[in-house]
Chains A and B, each alone.
Chain A
Amino acid sequence: MIRTPLRPLARVLEAREKGENPDKIERENLRERHEQMRDKSRIRAEGRLLVLGLIFLAGFGAIGGRMATISSAEPQEPVASASQAAIIAQRADITDRNGNVLATNLATHALYAQPHHMIDKARVARELVQIFPDLEEEALTRRFSDGRKFLWIKKKISPEQQQMVHDIGDPGLQFGPREMRLYPNGALAAHILGGASFGREGVQSAEVIGTAGVEKAFDDYLRDAANGGQPLRLSIDLTIQAALERVLHGGMVMMNAKGATAVMMEAKTGKIVAMASLPDFDPNERPTPLTEGDASDSPLFNRAVQGVYELGSTFKIFTAAQAMELGLVNANSLVDADAPMKWGKHKIKEFKNKNYGPYLSVTDVMVKSSNVGTANLALQIGKERQRAFLKELGFMSPTSVELVEAPGAKPLTPKHWGDIHTITVSYGHGLSASPLHLASAYATIANGGILVKPTLLADAQPTQAKRVLSQESAADARSMLRQVVTRGTASFGDVEGYAVGGKTGTADKPKERGGGYYDDKVIATFASMFPAHSPEYVLIVTLDEPEDRTGSEPRRTAGWTAVPVAAEIIRRTAPLMGLRPDFETDTPVALIRTSN
């Protein structure tokens, strides 16, 4: 392109000759050039404006087209009113091992008020109190008129109550859909299930969170939508649980005990078939925890898991089994059982100051429940080995059962494990553990020496099996336990056909404020397994402060209290669990040939 110079020399010279101002030429040329530029930019702008116009045309066209598409589409399900929005079942159900429902959800409503919409606040308060007697009319009226625009009245109401509130007909009373946790079996398995309550609350829905038991332990699992509503299947058997609770309750009343607990466990897997603690509660209306006094007096207290007790002579079998395992004795070896035995300033005595000595076979030490005999066995074992063995059986740490209460129940063990502790622990004093600890340890003896982990899950996979006793030692120990029932302290436990084996334990209760033991309050325990020759189940029954008053003087030993209760439980539940009674026939059946 040829640019015209702004000051062309020829024209400038010419202008100078004529006496004109040459700047005029420059200005004219400048204007000309400027106009050319403008024309160019105008043409470019025309094109770009056209592009813009097309873009707008396309944009508006797209919106119009999209509008038309949506208009011609079928409207979705009407969701105009938010209160109709469905609340999906969020929390998974809990079932027993056979799929019977233990915990499920129920659609219900919460009642709330919007006082600024109310027509007659006084009347609403009056009529609400008639429907819900636990509300106070004055408090309601006050809360309705203190200027707030929203208040909860009831978190859960029944359909009948909802209808009655509806009939009040005040627009200021509103219902929010709720999903509540329902335990259809009431108090059954209450301590295992625990309970649930509302977490964060909105008008349209509220979060349900577990507060105790498996509900809390598996809270994340139950609320996890990824499980697709798959129920949590527990190892509990509802039928067995019901029978066990029924009998245990009867036993507790008959034996005048203030509390009772029982654990039924599969010997081979550690799965808990039934577990009860009395007194119990209804998880649908979970009571508030005690704010003062002893927490173990609350019905919320799970004695089977949270309660740590000195379990008494039930521990003796561990001493005997270990002594046999170490090869120190066999079932028929004689041990020194001369009572009372002196150890330093301590005196080890037998029950009621008897003397079974001077010598007893190991079997008879168990059958007669000799403290002195057991103490001498324990001294042979030595404190380090005794402690290691008890640790392997799980007595030094909380149980790993899937309850949120379990980790808090740490066994109480002697601080400095001296020889005197070796002696007392050998017959179950000075070491406090929960009945569930005892159940797992007895399961180890029952299944031939393999450790088990107590579990509440039906689908629990057994962990790496660890053997702590040889088959032989375990079999010898079981034979001793059987003889305790047939000719020893637990003779009331002999349920015909089920060959029960077990060991009694009666421990004086320690005083709450320290300083020795009560002489009229005991913890009576019967740890049993059946059938003794090849045990399937372990049953622990513990009664708190039992007293059999049928005789001339109160009898508190386990043989008189816990054992009959356990026997009745076995009698009722063993057939339910599919065990066939095995009647020993005294006279061999003979075929009599008949002919004529």
Chain B
Amino acid sequence: MTEMVYGSIPQRGGDPVLPRWWRTIDKWTMSCILMLFGIGLLLGLAASPPLAAKNGFEPFHYVSRQAFFGGVALFVMLVTSMMSPTLVRRLGVLGFLAAFVALALLPVLGTDFGKGAVRWYSLGFASVQPSEFLKPGFVVLAAWLMAASQEINGPPGKAMSFGVAIAIVAMLALQPDFGQAALVLFAWGVMYFVAGAPMVLLVMIAGAVVLVGMFAYDNSEHFARRIDGFLSPELDPRTQLGYAQNAISEGGFFGVGVGEGQVKWSLPDAHTDFIIAVAAEEYGLMLVLLIILLYMTIVMRSLYRLMRERDPFIRLAGTGLACMFGVQAMINMGVAVRLLPAKGMTLPFVSYGGSSLIAGGIAVGMLLAFTRRRPQGEIADILRRR
């Protein structure tokens, strides 16, 4: 009736944004991420009071900060995941350029916070680590270049993206931040692998990585000390690794109890690099296995969805983001159990850190945007009887 009187309401074409987002988003991955964030807050309650006490704040200062940054990160993640892949690509490349400039200016304007490596910009209330923001931007850029190179008469995207990767690695190695450099190189390698790298080249790259590692070992004391610590068979119980390992043993299967852990008082990085040790000590193997399972689910789900993806750019970018996310978690936990040499790397979404959280939110938001279900031309396949 109303329609007949007033004429039809002008209707926009297509679905409304939110319902379509909810229908197509990978809900498994998203819930895993929310759970990880929750666990991060829970562990922050346990791990950060010693640091707060040391710096003269009230006990849960860092937890409230983490909650604030986490809220921002989740918001950023949601917004990003609602974007179309094309918009993600555009913003990603722009973000990459900004972060690249910021990284290049670090030696001039950055601070080292007395930690021996210039990685941060100090903003007063918080610090920003440009390399965290560079990583998702780089993945998008590299995926774009590689996808373009698969077009007939396309640009030489693989070589160009490799050049960019090397430039970033060089800058990161100068800081020095070999962990992030390795991550960037790894992400590029994975994308190149999925984009169809020749097997011979893969072997050669593996060899080159070994050579660079040896060079770094010989020429950087910072790097050599950590490798030596890893290779020495016996573990000094008074090192960070010793404390971490002891904490995991103390925790056993069900942990020593909430707030009862001791390792957080001994480890300066208990709230960041060694948060898994705090988790293992207070909540036991159960929580650790749950955390591992969550990361695994995120990576496997994303890779599974990307397998069906037909758009090369989306496939490559998604692969790069998912693998980087998974590998960062793997390295962090691998260090704590001494499967890998000591390397400062945060546990994504669980460790404390504003930059790392928000950058992680962006990266995961991109990943969610890429893994949304979209028509993949299956009907066309059927029609063409292929």
Contacts and interface: CB of A to CB of B under 8 A. Distances in A.
A63 B307 contact: no
B194 interface: yes
A63 B280 CA distance: 13
A76 B245 CA distance: 9
B288 A45 contact: no
Interface in B190-229: 190, 193-196
A41 B238 contact: no
Contacts of A33: 152
B246 A79 contact: yes
B21 interface: no
Interface in B65-111: none
B182 to A, nearest CB: 15
B324 to A, nearest CB: 12
Given A59-B330, A70-B245, A79-B246, A52 B190 contact: yes
Nearest to B150: A41
Given A45-B194, A48-B193, A63-B292, A38 B285 contact: no
Given A63-B337, A79-B242, A71 B190 contact: no
Given A45-B194, A48-B194, A79-B242, A56 B249 contact: no
B28 interface: no
B339 A70 contact: no
A44 interface: yes
Contacts of B253: 71-72
A347 interface: no
A53 B312 CA distance: 18
Interface string B279-307: 01000110011001001100110011011
B315 interface: yes
B240 interface: no
A33 B238 CA distance: 63
Interface string B320-338: 0001001000100110011
Given A38-B312, A52-B190, A66-B337, A71 B300 contact: no
B292 A53 contact: no
A57 B292 CA distance: 10
- Interface magnitude class on chain B: 35 or more
A42 B289 CA distance: 34
A579 interface: no
A37 B150 CA distance: 9
Contacts of B251: 71
B238 A79 contact: yes
A63 B252 contact: no
Given A50-B307, A52-B193, A80-B262, A74 B295 contact: no
A71 B280 contact: yes
A244 B232 CA distance: 54
A76 B251 CA distance: 12
Contacts of A79: 237-238, 242-243, 246
A115 to B, nearest CB: 15
A50 B308 CA distance: 11
Nearest to A53: B303
Interface in A6-31: 30
A226 B354 CA distance: 49
Contacts of A87: none
Nearest to B306: A49
Interface in A541-575: none
Contact of B196 (A44, A62, A78): A44
A46 interface: yes
Contacts of A72: 252-253
A82 interface: yes
B295 A60 contact: yes
Contacts of B269: none
A579 to B, nearest CB: 54
B190 A75 contact: no
Contacts of A164: none
B27 interface: no
Contact of A52 (B237, B284, B319): B319
B112 interface: no
B296 A60 contact: yes
Contact of A38 (B242, B248, B310, B330): B310
Given A45-B315, A80-B262, A80-B265, A67 B280 contact: yes
B266 interface: yes
A34 interface: yes
B252 A71 contact: yes
B196 A41 contact: yes
A48 to B, nearest CB: 5
A63 B334 contact: yes
Nearest to B252: A71
Contact of A64 (B242, B248, B289, B312): B289
Contacts of B333: 63, 67
B180 to A, nearest CB: 19
A73 B280 CA distance: 13
Contacts of B330: 56, 59-60, 63
A68 B285 contact: yes
A108 to B, nearest CB: 21
Contact of B150 (A38, A59, A76): A38
A56 B280 CA distance: 21
A85 interface: yes
A62 B333 CA distance: 11
Given A63-B292, A67-B337, A34 B152 contact: yes
Given A52-B194, A71-B285, 7 more contacts: A33-B152, A34-B151, A53-B303, A56-B299, A67-B288, A71-B253, A75-B246
6 contacts: A41-B195, A52-B193, A53-B300, A71-B284, A79-B237, A79-B246
The 8 closest A-B pairs by CB, nearest first: A75-B249, A71-B285, A66-B337, A70-B248, A60-B296, A79-B237, A80-B262, A53-B303
Interface of B: 150-152, 190, 193-196, 237-238, 242-243, 245-246, 248-253, 262-263, 265-266, 280, 284-285, 288-289, 292, 295-296, 299-300, 303-304, 306-307, 310, 312, 315, 319, 323, 326, 330, 333-334, 337-339
